[in-house]
């Protein structure tokens, strides 16, 4: 993946992508798409809007993915009808959003998203209507409800491969930006001036990485060139929006390649600053642990197994935690409280960048807390830990740490055998553990005879 990315960065210089005022039209004989491949609800929406006198097309990712023989996750419609006009046509429609007003049309569990054609924002501040569009000082778009024509809508889409419009009625593709050509060449290219497009919405840098990893595309040279310089702009993005984007990055089945590209393009630092610092100071361990966790995540997704963001974030942040725990222990704090305090501080700092919901931060802390508890196996502790609802996640995380090179003195193997052993075998393992401790401790110290005064003091302390 990275080799392909680097090859694309060295590609011959090319001018900024220019759109045609009229599209290249591909008839049904010139492409592989058929209306039956698309959601019947989405096709029905297009037909009803066209019959009502509006322009309407299937657009973006669903068209791109179908051309690549990938099953789309959802189906989007672009239309000349305003959100209010769309809602008037469909009783099951709901207008959502303020920054970017859309319509969701519900068909049971399936939701079709309908967007009105957008136009470019006015370049003159005096012409800008704050109710429809607004930007901040760095050029980032804060509100985007300037409606326009089909041609204007194509011009303001982010990547050429997403500026494809499919009409299921005539079965034609309208291509304004050589998107079909870039799909055939497996190349990701921004429409317009890359620096300006990233300044309008810095999240486009993350989308570039996500699409390149998901589709196994190279990133065109001029599309990649400004990213390292503009990466700090991600700090301006609301933390709640970044949480959603990070889930898309790491839970799409291509997390391992995504991580490599984020690090190379210096996009990992503004997302996970503490982990990026750990990657700089302890590169081998940090890179190995995160990469292994992401490969496991990708494998589970490919196998159709469930994945939890809590385990993912626990792995992404863990390399930054031990140094903080050690610092608190050096100041006299016991191991478990030190772990809890360091975890609280690290997660609080991370939530300033990415708003991880409490339903995930609590399991993250419990998984980390397990790492301090798993070595404590004497007496009934092992059985109590085994019954803990977070045991499996904590155990899996322990194995992850060991695979990254952490020395745990065979702790992971011990717990693996303990889970498989019968009750008698488990008692033997606990006994062996106690004997090993006694042997390593040397002769037992001579017991002091407790005086009646000592007994009274201890009894009094217990009663207090």
Give the residue extent of every domain in the chain: 20-121+132-185, 276-432
From the list 65, 153, 158, 182, the catalytic residue is: 158
Cα torsion angle, 369, 374, 379, 383, sign: positive
Would the pLDDT of 299 be above 60?
yes
User: 75-84, 264-273, 336-345, 429-438: which has the minimum mean pLDDT?
Assistant: 429-438
| Overall average pLDDT of the 316-322 stretch | 97
Would residue 76 show up in a list of annotated catalytic residues for this protein?
yes
Predicted local distance difference test score (pLDDT) of residue 100: 78
Would residue 175 show up in a list of annotated catalytic residues for this protein?
no
| Overall average pLDDT of the 133-145 stretch | 50
From the list 76, 144, 153, 298, the catalytic residue is: 76
Yes or no: domain 20-121+132-185 corresponds to CATH 3.30.460.10: yes
Q: To the nearest whole number, what is the mean pLDDT of the chain?
A: 87
Share of the chain above pLDDT 70, in %: 84
Please write the tens of the pLDDT for every residue from 146-185.
Answer: 899 999 999 889 999 999 999 999 999 999 999 999 999 9
Would residue 383 show up in a list of annotated catalytic residues for this protein?
no
Predicted local distance difference test score (pLDDT) of residue 1: 55
Predicted local distance difference test score (pLDDT) of residue 74: 93
Euclidean distance between CA atoms 25 and 174, whole angstroms: 5
Predicted local distance difference test score (pLDDT) of residue 20: 59
From the list 74, 193, 369, 396, the catalytic residue is: 74
| Overall average pLDDT of the 122-149 stretch | 55
Would the pLDDT of 128 be above 60?
no
Please write the tens of the pLDDT for every residue from 86-121.
Answer: 999 999 999 998 777 899 999 999 999 999 999 875
Please write the tens of the pLDDT for every residue from 235-250.
Answer: 999 999 999 999 999 9
Cα torsion angle, 208, 210, 213, 214, sign: negative
In the CATH scheme, what is the code of domain 276-432?
A: 1.10.3090.10
Predicted local distance difference test score (pLDDT) of residue 122: 54
Please write the tens of the pLDDT for every residue from 36-61.
Answer: 999 999 999 999 999 999 999 999 99
134 falls in which pLDDT band (50, 70, 90)?
Answer: very low
Please write the tens of the pLDDT for every residue from 415-445.
Answer: 999 999 999 999 999 999 887 765 444 444 4
| Overall average pLDDT of the 67-81 stretch | 95
User: 226-230, 231-235, 441-445: which has the minimum mean pLDDT?
Assistant: 441-445
């Amino acid at each position: 993946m990275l080799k392909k990315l680097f090859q694309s960065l060295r590609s011959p210089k090319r001018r900024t992508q220019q759109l045609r005022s009229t599209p290249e039209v591909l008839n049904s004989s010139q492409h592989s798409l058929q209306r039956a491949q698309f959601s019947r609800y989405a096709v029905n929406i297009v037909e009803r809007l066209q019959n009502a006198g509006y322009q309407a097309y299937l657009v973006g990712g669903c068209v791109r993915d179908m051309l690549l023989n990938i099953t789309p996750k959802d189906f989007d419609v672009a239309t000349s009808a305003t959100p209010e006009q769309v809602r008037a046509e469909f009783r099951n429609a709901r207008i959502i959003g303020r920054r970017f007003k859309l319509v969701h049309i519900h068909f049971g569990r399936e939701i079709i998203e309908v967007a009105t054609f957008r136009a470019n924002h006015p370049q003159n501040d005096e012409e800008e209507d704050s109710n429809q569009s607004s930007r901040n000082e760095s050029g980032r778009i804060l509100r985007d409800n300037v409606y326009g024509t089909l041609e204007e809508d194509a011009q303001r889409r982010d990547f050429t491969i997403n500026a494809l419009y499919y009409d299921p009625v005539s079965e034609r593709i309208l291509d304004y930006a050589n998107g079909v050509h870039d799909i055939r060449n497996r190349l990701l290219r921004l429409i317009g001036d890359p620096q300006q497009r990233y300044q309008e919405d810095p999240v486009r840098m993350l989308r570039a990485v996500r699409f390149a990893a998901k589709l196994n595309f190279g990133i065109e040279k001029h599309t990649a060139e400004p990213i390292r310089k503009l990466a700090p702009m991600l700090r301006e993005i609301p933390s709640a929006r970044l949480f959603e984007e990070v889930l898309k990055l790491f839970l799409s089945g291509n997390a391992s390649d995504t991580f490599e590209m984020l690090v190379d393009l210096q996009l990992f630092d503004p997302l996970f600053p503490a982990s990026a610092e750990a990657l700089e100071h302890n590169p081998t361990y940090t890179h190995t642990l995160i990469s292994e966790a992401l490969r496991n995540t990708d494998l589970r997704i490919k196998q159709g197994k469930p994945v939890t963001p809590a385990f993912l974030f626990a792995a992404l942040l863990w390399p930054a935690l031990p140094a903080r725990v050690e610092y608190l222990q050096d100041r006299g704090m016991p191991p478990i409280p030190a772990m809890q305090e360091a975890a609280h501080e690290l997660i609080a700092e991370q939530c300033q960048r990415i708003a991880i919901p409490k339903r995930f931060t609590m399991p993250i802390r419990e998984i980390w807390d397990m790492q301090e508890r798993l070595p404590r196996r004497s007496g009934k502790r092992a059985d109590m830990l085994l019954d803990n609802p977070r045991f499996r996640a904590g155990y899996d995380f322990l194995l992850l740490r060991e695979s990254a090179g952490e020395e745990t003195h065979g702790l992971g193997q011990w717990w693996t055998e303990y889970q498989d052993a019968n009750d008698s075998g488990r008692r033997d393992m606990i006994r062996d553990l106690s004997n090993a401790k006694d042997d390593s401790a040397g002769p037992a110290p001579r017991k002091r005879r407790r005086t009646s005064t000592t007994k009274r003091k201890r009894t009094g302390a217990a009663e207090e």
